[in-house]
Amino acid sequence: MAWTILFIAVFTEICWALSLKWAAMQATWQASSVPILLSFLNMGLLALAMRGIPAGTAYAVWTGLGAVGVIIGGVIVFGDKVGTIQAVFMAVTVIGVVGTKLFAQG
């Protein structure tokens, strides 16, 4: 269950980061409240996941997949560009996260 919660936290992290750019583009207090609310949800889910997963493992998975997800989300939602070398390093990050998950103690 902790891993499921962690992956929901990763999704929330991606939404949070993308909502920062979206809120900046909207420039309203309502739009600005979205990343604030998502940050509380995000941190709560990460903390809940850490009850069953070591903190370092949970944080490594959360940040790694979150970073890759934000890059992909930026491409899809905002038309950001990704170069070949950047894509290679994104793949290396995902490989590292998969290895971290496969060999996690707990």
**Residue 101 confidence (pLDDT) above 90:** no
Task: Tell me how far apart the alpha carbons of residues 88 and 105 are, in angstroms, rounded to a whole number.
Answer: 28
Could you tell me the pLDDT band of residue 106, with boundaries at 50, 70 and 90? low
**Residue 104 confidence (pLDDT) above 90:** no
Compute the residue count for the chain: 106
Question: Between 55-78 and 29-49, two packed helices, what is the crossing angle to 10 degrees?
Answer: 150
Task: Tell me how far apart the alpha carbons of residues 74 and 72 are, in angstroms, rounded to a whole number.
Answer: 5
Average pLDDT, the chain: 94
| Predicted confidence (pLDDT) per residue in 51-81, tens digit | 999 999 999 999 999 999 999 999 999 999 9
Q: What is the pLDDT of residue 102?
A: 87
Q: What is the pLDDT of residue 43?
A: 96
**Residue 49 confidence (pLDDT) above 70:** yes
**Residue 82 confidence (pLDDT) above 70:** yes
